[in-house]
Amino acid sequence: MLQCGVPGCALPRQAASATGALGGGTSGYCSAAHEQLARRKRLLAPATPDVEAVHIGPGEDWSVHLLRRSHPRHAAVRALFAARWGKPAAESGGCLPRVQAVLHITTPPAVFERFRRHAAALGGGAAPAGGSSADDGQPFGGGGVGTGAGAGAGAGAGAGAGAASTRRNVEELFHGTSQLPGCFFGVRPGARPCEAAGCAVCAICRRSLTLARAGAPAVARGNGGWLRFGRGLYFSSCSGKSNDYSAGSEKVLRGQHGRRWRWRVMLLCKVAVGRPFETDAAADLDEAQFTAAGLKALGFDSVLGAAGADLNYPETVVYAEEAVLPRELIVYTLPAHDDEEDEE
């Protein structure tokens, strides 16, 4: 029996009708009052017990699903984040970062659709009509996250015949981002995505990554204000590297026993890399070539900056917004700097 869709309410869901339809037809909530409360807070009733809360955007065409630790995707993302950190614990206060929350992002259907087409085109295969690879993240939630926001879920019920050609050039990569100091989405239970234009993480949940934001001060800060491979969208297979770009999301909060923690957010994205131009030195190409058109002319779709002369950690850069599908928001903590000193 699924619990009421309002987080924190342990009451069972009410049957949708007096007869209690087969297949568990419920209202999603314990009562009409909680149904109204959910609507006011822009929450949807989770489709499975492994999802704690579902936030929907004002346009109801995107949603963010707060996963419980029991959700298989939570475990998978946690494991990937840890395995790919790639930096010694000494660099982060003597302990590795701890994942505090994993939120699955279901983008507006148009964002998913343009990504699917782009990835299929790079893979050389035809885009499957109406289909989607389960691996691409949408639809999500085990069939219908509800009404309204379900437009993206549920719509792609095709067989995903092109999944193999789509997946071949698609990689799962991390992307560091920023969050406004006043926004606690993902950090505090119950906090919802904000609508402030300057809150990068909430803007990404709403409409994916944009080239217009690339190179903005908050984005470039992690790289000393310099975009090594031009004005593109930057990712890394190394979560520890993306952490350098997440400084603009940091909030220092007091936890149990008064200990202070640095809370940060990062995205895990699907990135269609196509044929990457591999280099360990930015000087290999001139600035005009670090564009979608410039690379295309050379027969490439993305840049893979390998660790070497210029880079300590690998970076992937794409120059087309449709090459990216944000998939999960990872909320994690590192020890606060002064606590590191306290322990010495």
Rule CB under 5 A: which residues touch Zn ion?
4, 6, 9, 11, 30, 34, 183, 185, 194, 199, 202
One-character DSSP codes across 99-151: EEEEEEEE--HHHHHHHHHHHHHHTTSPPPTT---GGG--S-SSS---SSGGG
d(CA 192, CA 296): 40
Q: Which is nearer to Zn ion, 194 or 238 (CB)?
A: 194
Task: State which residue, 122 or 209, has the beta carbon closest to Zn ion.
Answer: 209
- The least CB distance from residue 26 to Zn ion, in Å, is 12
Instruction: Identify the burial level of 223 via C-beta atoms within 10 angstroms of its C-beta, where 0-12 means exposed, 13-18 middle and 19 or more buried.
Output: middle
Judge whether 260 and 252 are in contact, CB under 8 Å: yes
Q: Which is nearer to Zn ion, 55 or 167 (CB)?
A: 55
Q: Is the peptide bond before 139 cis (omega within 30 degrees of 0)?
A: yes
Choice between 181 and 308, CB closer to Zn ion: 181
Q: Are 208 and 324 in contact (CB under 8 A)?
A: yes
At its nearest, how many Å lie between Zn ion and the CB of residue 179? 6
Residue 292 CB contacts under 8 Å (≥ 6 apart), including other chains: 319, 320
Closest distance to Zn ion from the beta carbon of 242 (Å)? 18
Q: Which is nearer to Zn ion, 109 or 198 (CB)?
A: 198
| Shortest distance, position 188 Cβ to Zn ion, whole Å | 12
* Look-up of token digits 């959910």: 38
Find, among 312, 191, 310, 183, the residue nearest to 248 by Cα: 183
Nearer to Zn ion, 36 or 70 (CB): 36
**How far is the C-alpha of 322 from the C-alpha of 330, rounded, in Å?**
22
Q: How far is the CB of 1 from Zn ion (least distance, A)?
A: 13
Nearer to Zn ion, 13 or 116 (CB): 13
What are the backbone dihedrals phi and psi of residue 3, each rounded to the nearest 5 degrees, phi first? -75, 165
Tell me how far, at minimum, the Cβ of 183 lies from Zn ion, in Å.
3
Provide, rounded to whole angstroms, the least separation between the CB of residue 239 and Zn ion: 21
